Amino acid sequence: MTHTYRIDTGRQTLVLAARNTRLPQVVYWGAPLPADEDLAMLHAAHAIDITGGMLDENPDLSLCPEASRSFPGQPGLILRDAGGAPVLAMFSLVDAVQTATDLRLTYRDADNGLDLICTFLSDPETHIITCQTALNAEYPVYLDWLAAPVLPAPQHSETMIDISGRWCGEFQLAHTPWSAGIRLRESRTGRSGHEHFPGLIVPCHGATNTQGEAYAFHYGWSGGHRMIAEELADGRRQIQWGHAAGSDTQAATHFSTAPLYINYSDSGLNGCAVAFQRHLRDRIVTWPKPDTPRPVHYNCWEAVYFDHKLPVLKDIATRAAALGAERFVLDDGWFGRRDDDTTSLSDWIVDARKYPQGLQPLIAHIHGLGMTFGLWFEPEMINEDSDTYRTHPGWVLGRADQTRGRQQLVLNMALPAVREYLYGRIAAILTDHPIDYIKWDHNRVLPMPDAAQTRGTYALLDRLRVDFPAVEIESCASGGGRIDFGILQRTQRVWLSDSNDALERLRIQHDAALFLPMAVTGSHVGPRICHTSGRTLDMSLRAWVAAQRHMGFEMDPRELTDHEAAVLSKVTGWWKQNRHWLHSADILRLDSADPAVIAEQQLARDKARFVVFAGKAATSTQIVPRPLRLTGLDGQARYRVTLVNRDEAPGLSRGAPLLKSGSLVASGTYLMQHGVTLPWSFPDRIWVLQGESL
Ligand code: DGJ
């Protein structure tokens, strides 16, 4: 007997099928199947042949491949009993419950007292399928590995794209050819990490940003994860995601993976990106004030660092407001005796030396300028030079002789007393001051991966959010060290990178757009001489790159020339005029014919307007720009396309391309097939094109 289940999102169908009561396997995942497709037939057709040297029955690549059935690759579950002996589970069906959007499958291993539950939730609007695996045991067991529902990777694919990175260099796409064996990515630092953003895209033959088929995965967990992409000797390919191996350190009777978000696209990598962007913005993030536009930020970190002086901060706030800022975020340095990064973390009390009358005078000044006020915390951290450490040395996570990171240690967030203390301190500050924003930092890795730590952090965030529902939170971890749908379920913005170098940022945010929408992605105009790259870039590039995402400033506004201030005000004005539709627009990465150009198109949901950012990140090899093909437009519609910053064409651009003097009116087909011919420009510049359908 065959059990079959299908999950549809309108843009994809996923078919599961099982022999008798066994765990099911994915027998189809791709473009939508007809409603009357014979799923049992697909199951029969899916069976692969057996030849010499193989078992007489081919082990299924099931939702949780079982070692007990001689599965030849990584099993989906690795378990030990209380004495440390391996438990080889073998599951059979107990229950299957399906609604229009949900599927819940329960399996039991009676001999070992285990239940395995796999759930699927399909979203017909975002086209994301969310799946998760849970394990219940009658007796406490040790979990070494539990995979979220295991999925096959396509055969018609040559490479996989996963994501590497580093501090100031987040979201680097790593292309790896498929070959026999395992590609394993693991974040063992207790954060999703700069080094291993938990995402994977498997493009099929010939897929580009704008066309072809692709499959995509994101594991929504902030505590460190493992990804396994394995090609078995028989040629099948499996994708597994779970918490970093061994990060559940205690024997327990219940375990669960984080949600795994998956989708199939027939419109290139952009189809996957748009699904993730929409799902994150419209389903995962909860917005305290959904109808209020994203405010332009000012963050004082790179202007003053720890040197907080009230008159200076007031002056900076006044200038930031004049440039267009709407929210002032007071960064590190306001509490304890925090004059540098050696001291005071966890002493969340306003420093009376710097703020003798508390924060109120600064906040009142900021409010008087029409801005709201945000404050920096790094709740999970502690310095040994702090009153809290002197009172509670036992609150630290890990060994006393562990290596420090930025001179700091980590608080053990699994301890209720630690969470209670942090809640009390943060709640007191939020109660005593009109604060609408927290920048929540996390600047060092954990001494070891520990899922309980992440659960503790989530619990603290959840409690604060219940009691202070109007406060927005930004997730920062030395820039983009903690970006994932788990933390974004509790926050509204990510500090994508500590690099405010606009050229680096152009690339980072381009690649991050495979997962992140504009609305959550912070991007700031930094100091003229970038503090992390030493590079000096023109204000136009710096401002427009920030305007590609949730815009902000982070330089000392006192350094701006009149010209720089004018350019920044103009671009900020443009952003404010357009943010109402940019907030819900899709970011589409363009297939630039010139590798020197990093280009994207932000397309309104109704396709009635778009903006294209074409950044020239290097000197081109050819003389004049290659036409830039747009995407996602209505081929029959006519669009008026205008170069927003055409006044920036340099003197060396001596010709008369239409866009230098006027607008181009053309069909979507022309714009997508031939592309837009831009004027010549220097490298390190960006063209901004706006289009509207007529
Ligand atoms: C690291 C963050 O990424 C910076 O933006 C800043 O908040 C510092 N921490 C403060 O210590």
In a domain, 407, yes or no: no
CB 495 within 8 A of CB 480: yes
pLDDT at residue 656, as a whole number: 93
Structure tokens given for 492: 């509204």
Using most ligand atoms within 8 A of CB, pick from 443, 497, 499 the residue to mutate for ligand 1.
443
Q: What is the pLDDT of residue 322?
A: 98
Q: How many distinct structural domains can be found in the chain?
A: 3
Q: Kindly report the protein residue whose alpha carbon is nearest to atom 10 of ligand 1.
A: 332
Predicted pLDDT at 181:
98
Helix, strand, or coil (residue 643)? strand
Its domain, for residue 157, covers 2-49+60-284
- pLDDT tens, position by position, 610-643: 999 999 999 999 999 999 999 999 999 999 999 9
pLDDT for 404 equals: 96
**Ligand 1 midpoint to CA 119 (Å):** 38
Band (pLDDT 50/70/90 cuts) for residue 566 is: very high
pLDDT reported for residue 446: 96
- CATH number, domain of 514, equals 3.20.20.70
Q: What is the pLDDT of residues 343-367, one digit of tens each?
A: 999 999 999 999 999 999 999 999 9
| Predicted pLDDT of residue 20 | 95
* Residue-averaged pLDDT of the chain: 97
Residue 478 CA to ligand 1 center (angstroms) comes to 6
- Ligand 1 pocket test, pick from 332, 342, 499 with the greatest ligand atom count within 8 Å of Cβ, gives 332
How much is the average pLDDT of 601-617?
Answer: 97
Per-residue pLDDT, 167: 98
Are both 126 and 173 inside the same structural domain?
A: yes
pLDDT band at 154 (very low <50, low <70, confident <90, very high): very high
Whether 172 and 274 map to the same domain: the answer is yes
* Co-location of 180 and 249 in the same domain: yes
Residue 689 lies in a domain: yes
Specify whether 224 is located in the same domain as 270: yes
Which of 478, 499, 505 has the most ligand 1 atoms within 8 A of CB, as the residue to mutate? 478
267-294 per-residue burial string, b: 16 or more CB within 10 A, e: under 16: bbbbbbbbbbbbbbbebbbeeeeeeeeb
Mean pLDDT computed over 527-545: 98
Q: Stretch 99-107: mean pLDDT, rounded?
A: 97
Average pLDDT of span 76-98: 97
Residue-level pLDDT at 602: 98
Residue 465 lies in a domain: no
Calculate mean pLDDT across residues 588-617: 97
pLDDT at 483: 98
- We report the CATH number of the domain holding residue 178 as 2.70.98.60
Residue with tokens 């004027």: 679
Cα–Cα nearest to 323, from 642, 611, 470, 542: 542
Asked whether residue 55 is assigned to any structural domain, the reply reads no
User: How close is the Cα of 315 to the center of ligand 1, in Å?
Assistant: 22
Give the domain-ending residue among 582, 616, 649.
Answer: 582
First-to-final CA distance of the chain: 58
| pLDDT at residue number 541 | 98
Cα-to-centroid distance, 116 and ligand 1 (Å):
42
DSSP states along 337-349: T-SSTTB-TT--S
Q: For residues 173 and 196, give the distance between their C-alpha atoms in angstroms, rounded to a whole number.
A: 10
Mean pLDDT, rounded, for 63-79:
97
Indicate if 192 and 322 belong to the same structural domain: no
Does 531 reside within a domain?
yes
Q: What is the pTM of this model?
A: 0.98
Q: Could you report the per-residue pLDDT of 431-467, keeping only the tens digit for each?
A: 999 999 999 999 999 999 999 999 999 999 999 999 9
**Nearest atom within ligand 1 for CA of residue 331:** 7
Predicted pLDDT at 224: 97
Specify whether 615 is located in the same domain as 566: no
Closest residue CA from atom 4 of ligand 1: 478
Q: Which atom of ligand 1 is nearest to the CA of 477?
A: 3
CA atoms of 571 and 567, how far apart (whole Å): 6
* Residue type (1 letter), 589: R
Going from the C-alpha of 566 to that of each of 298, 327, 503, 550, the distances in angstroms are 17, 20, 21, 20
**Residues above pLDDT 90, as percent of the chain:** 100
- Tell how far the Cα of 47 is from the centroid of ligand 1, in angstroms: 54
Residue after which a domain boundary falls, among 229, 257, 284: 284
Place of tokens 């022999």: 19
| Last residue in a domain, options 217, 252, 284 | 284
Residue 416, classed as helix, strand or coil, is helix
The residue whose CB lies within 8 Å of the most ligand 1 atoms, and thus the one to mutate among 338, 495, 530, 532, is 495
Indicate the helix (H) or strand (E) that contains 171: strand 169-177
CA–CA dist 226, 148 (Å, integer)? 11
Closest Cα partner for 275 from 263, 259, 258, 260?
263
| C-alpha triplet 621, 625, 627: angle, nearest 5° | 125
If you take atom 9 of ligand 1, which residue's CA is the nearest one? Answer: 478
pLDDT at 493: 98
Do 185 and 204 fall within a single domain? yes
In a domain, 318, yes or no: yes
Contact between residue 617 and residue 507 where contact means Cβ atoms under 8 Å apart: yes
Find the 238 Cα to ligand 1 centroid distance in Å.
Answer: 38
Q: Which residues are catalytic?
A: 441, 498
Q: What stretch of H or E contains 222?
A: none
Compute the distance from residue 511 Cα to the ligand 1 centre, in Å: 22
- Name residues contacting ligand 1 (CB within 6 A): 301, 331-332, 376, 441, 443, 476, 478-479, 495, 498
pLDDT class of 516 with cuts at 50, 70, 90: very high
- Strands 550-553 and 521-525 come out as parallel
Tokens of 203: 């493009």
CATH number at residue 611: 2.60.40.1180
Q: Is residue 463 part of a domain?
A: no
9-62 residue pLDDT tens = 999 999 999 999 999 999 999 999 999 999 999 999 999 999 999 999 999 999
439 CA closest ligand 1 atom index: 7
Statement to judge: residues 176 and 104 lie in one domain: yes
Q: Which atom in ligand 1 lies closest to the alpha carbon of residue 476?
A: 3
pLDDT at 537: 98
Q: Whose alpha carbon is nearest atom 2 of ligand 1? A: 478
Mean local confidence (pLDDT), 165-182? 98
272 and 324 belong to one structural domain: no
Shortest-distance Cα residue to atom 1 of ligand 1: 478
Query: What average pLDDT does range 242-262 have in this prediction?
Result: 97
Mutate to test the pocket of ligand 1, among 167, 302, 331, 524 (most ligand atoms within 8 A of CB): 331
The residue whose C-alpha atom lies closest to atom 6 belonging to ligand 1 is 301
Q: What's the 152 CA to ligand 1 centre distance in angstroms?
A: 40
Instruction: State both tokens at 530.
Output: 């970038």
Same domain, yes or no, for 167 and 250? yes
Measured in angstroms, how far is the CA atom of residue 557 from the centroid of ligand 1? 19
Whether 268 and 514 have beta carbons less than 8 Å apart is answered as no
Q: Confidence band (pLDDT; 50, 70, 90) for 256?
A: very high
Q: Over range 593-608, report the average pLDDT.
A: 97
427: in domain: no
Q: Are residues 315 and 210 in the same domain?
A: no
| One domain, residues 489 and 560 | yes
Q: What is the pLDDT of residues 631-688, one digit of tens each?
A: 999 999 999 999 999 999 999 999 999 999 999 999 999 999 999 999 999 999 999 9
Contact 302, 346 (CB under 8 A): no
